[in-house]
A and B are shown apart, each in its own frame.
Chain A
């Protein structure tokens, strides 16, 4: 019998949890999503409601007086609500400060259902490794705000040149050659630093560490996204079933556990235009401790690339040809890149993105669960292109 996905039963939720074992925090977040699904959709929130929520959080976190002002909505991103504000407060290190901050809060249900706690911990762990925005506080259960949220500092810079054109979420951005030449080395260097950074002892207790020398990392990953497909999809897709079976039949063994950003691409970093320096890496919400090949496969996805001026050379993340990118990465990390594992993760990443666009995108919009259902609905349209890429990749492996 087909389950009612809009009003999932406790028994069905329990069955999915048992069928698709994954990391504990991922399981917790997905279970919470399903338990709340039958609840109300997203209702437009007044800015004042968010300001009150932030004040409640600050009252619990700060022991000295503060003043919150200049609250305003921010656009950008397909998954979270964002409010900018200025906080006059006693900074623990800098003393009396006036700090530009951003509140990043989930809607009722997001196109990417993730853990604010993991995002908070991972950004903290990456401070000093690569440029990241400072993160200050996390309301991981929505105790103060209407939904789970975190507060981070404003980082200077832009995601694309002021003059560039691109689609939603920075997809399809075209960069001029001189800019590419300056950004590409930093792009590779930062990925190398993330993948070679020590993560143990960095307070990442919301993450489970997969066992090296086994396929556990890949299994956790495919269990995560196949579970989301089951939870959210409306129209089934035989190719998704084939892809899940193919992924399980070809699981790669993890040779080294590293921090994986999981959305490492143009559009997810800020750079200052006057000196072309990357100032912050954003969107860590899908990050995990896993296989470096996942990031390499993601970064080299066709969905995030662009053609060079010659109309023939495909540029990884719009920055450099794939072969150059791989060679530079291997040199910077001292780690080899296994093409077969990259291939597996390309299929995996397409499976994940197709799940997000076709299944979760539909489900959240159908339930009126987000602050921008129209954008989420628009993103459903990228699904067939992702499926075609996944189909070609599986065909190539035969």
Chain B
């Protein structure tokens, strides 16, 4: 997926800064102020995006550690006991969620990139000096993988309006749900 948020944000900020903002009527103070704020918020978003997941994991780890301490120390009547039980249960769930979130989005993206490169290199080399008998199998595997992946890529970008028959492309959420099952 080449169309990632970072490149989109960079391009939008540049268009707003270089073209749109200078063209606003200098007497329209409200539009100028909101234009600048829009650029500022987009710049903040661009800065936050790469760190947002790790930020949330970091906070969740801290909350879990604190919750365990709270559960251990809290003593009292029915109300307190019920709250301890609820926090204990939430902590167990949060702990297992954090355990399964060990790879960050940046690490997953890096692996996607690496797998794309090394798979592509294999295709090139098989067609250069590989045994002719294995080429059909390599070709079919790449075509089959590409069919599934491109369906998801196209679905992710559906709102741009490139598809001649948009109804033929399922929503991205349903495709990802199907993959997860």
Residues of chain A whose beta carbon lies under 8 Å from any beta carbon of chain B? 2, 44, 167, 172, 234-242, 244-246, 248-249, 302, 305, 307, 358, 362, 365-366, 368, 372-374, 376-378, 380-385, 387-388, 391, 394-395, 398
Known contacts A172-B161, A380-B2, A385-B163; decide if A241 and B147 are in contact (CB<8 Å).
Answer: no
Complex-state Cα separation, A234 to B164, whole angstroms: 27
What 0/1 pattern do residues 12 to 40 of B give for CB contact below 8 A with A? 10110011001000000000000000000
> A373 — which chain B residues lie within 8 A by C-beta?
10-11, 14-15
Q: Assess whether A388 is in contact with B154, with CB atoms less than 8 Å apart.
A: yes
Q: Assess whether A366 is in contact with B15, with CB atoms less than 8 Å apart.
A: no
The stretch of B58-66, B84-92, B137-145 that contacts the partner chain: B137-145
Q: Assess whether B2 is in contact with A383, with CB atoms less than 8 Å apart.
A: yes
B121 within 8 A of A: yes
Q: Assess whether B160 is in contact with A381, with CB atoms less than 8 Å apart.
A: yes
A53 nearest CB across to chain B (Å): 20
What 0/1 pattern do residues 105 to 146 of B give for CB contact below 8 A with A? 000000011001101110110111000000010111011011
Q: Assess whether A235 is in contact with B164, with CB atoms less than 8 Å apart.
A: no
Tell which of B3, B19, B117, B154 touches A236, judged by Cβ atoms closer than 8 Å.
B117
Q: Assess whether B113 is in contact with A365, with CB atoms less than 8 Å apart.
A: no
Query: Which residues 53-77 of B have a CB within 8 angstroms of A?
Result: none
Complex-state Cα separation, A391 to B123, whole angstroms: 15
A304 nearest CB across to chain B (Å): 11
Complex-state Cα separation, A241 to B124, whole angstroms: 6
- Return 7 A-B CB contacts under 8 Å, by A number: A235-B1, A241-B123, A245-B123, A307-B164, A362-B7, A388-B147, A391-B143
B125 nearest CB across to chain A (Å): 9
| Chain B interface, number of residues (Cβ within 8 angstroms) | 44
Q: Assess whether A234 is in contact with B150, with CB atoms less than 8 Å apart.
A: no
8 more CB-based (< 8 A) A-B contacts, given A242-B138, A373-B14: A239-B146, A242-B142, A362-B2, A380-B2, A384-B154, A385-B162, A388-B147, A398-B139
B94 within 8 A of A: no
> B19 — which chain A residues lie within 8 A by C-beta?
44, 372
B137 nearest CB across to chain A (Å): 12
Known contacts A172-B161, A384-B157, A385-B154; decide if A368 and B120 are in contact (CB<8 Å).
Answer: no
Complex-state Cα separation, A350 to B114, whole angstroms: 24
B107 nearest CB across to chain A (Å): 15
Known contacts A238-B116, A245-B124, A366-B7; decide if A374 and B12 are in contact (CB<8 Å).
Answer: yes
> A302 — which chain B residues lie within 8 A by C-beta?
164
Nearest residue, chain B, Cβ from A43: B18
> B18 — which chain A residues lie within 8 A by C-beta?
44
Nearest residue, chain A, Cβ from B121: A241
Q: Assess whether B11 is in contact with A365, with CB atoms less than 8 Å apart.
A: yes
Q: Assess whether B2 is in contact with A239, with CB atoms less than 8 Å apart.
A: no
Complex-state Cα separation, A80 to B98, whole angstroms: 49
Known contacts A235-B116, A383-B3, A395-B143; decide if A374 and B124 are in contact (CB<8 Å).
Answer: no
Complex-state Cα separation, A382 to B164, whole angstroms: 11
Q: Assess whether A391 is in contact with B10, with CB atoms less than 8 Å apart.
A: no
Tell which of A244, A307, A372 touches B124, judged by Cβ atoms closer than 8 Å.
A244
Complex-state Cα separation, A395 to B128, whole angstroms: 20
Tell which of A377, A385, A394 touches B7, judged by Cβ atoms closer than 8 Å.
A377
> B145 — which chain A residues lie within 8 A by C-beta?
238
Q: Which of A245, A249, A383 has the most CB of B within 10 A?
A: A245
Complex-state Cα separation, A387 to B163, whole angstroms: 12
Q: Assess whether B142 is in contact with A378, with CB atoms less than 8 Å apart.
A: no
B136 nearest CB across to chain A (Å): 8
Q: Which of A2, A237, A242, A388 has the most CB of B within 10 A?
A: A242
Q: Assess whether A237 is in contact with B127, with CB atoms less than 8 Å apart.
A: no
> B10 — which chain A residues lie within 8 A by C-beta?
365-366, 368, 373, 377
Q: Assess whether A242 is in contact with B162, with CB atoms less than 8 Å apart.
A: no
> B164 — which chain A residues lie within 8 A by C-beta?
302, 305, 307
Closest CB pairs A-B (n = 8) = A245-B127, A384-B153, A374-B15, A377-B11, A241-B120, A373-B11, A239-B146, A241-B123
B181 nearest CB across to chain A (Å): 23
> A374 — which chain B residues lie within 8 A by C-beta?
11-12, 14-15
B179 within 8 A of A: no
Q: Assess whether A238 is in contact with B120, with CB atoms less than 8 Å apart.
A: yes
Complex-state Cα separation, A382 to B12, whole angstroms: 18
B8 within 8 A of A: yes
Complex-state Cα separation, A181 to B4, whole angstroms: 42
Complex-state Cα separation, A6 to B148, whole angstroms: 31
B114 nearest CB across to chain A (Å): 9
Complex-state Cα separation, A387 to B146, whole angstroms: 9
> B143 — which chain A residues lie within 8 A by C-beta?
239, 242, 391, 394-395
Complex-state Cα separation, A287 to B129, whole angstroms: 34
Nearest residue, chain A, Cβ from B130: A245
Q: Assess whether A365 is in contact with B150, with CB atoms less than 8 Å apart.
A: no
Complex-state Cα separation, A44 to B75, whole angstroms: 67
Complex-state Cα separation, A279 to B160, whole angstroms: 32
A6 nearest CB across to chain B (Å): 13
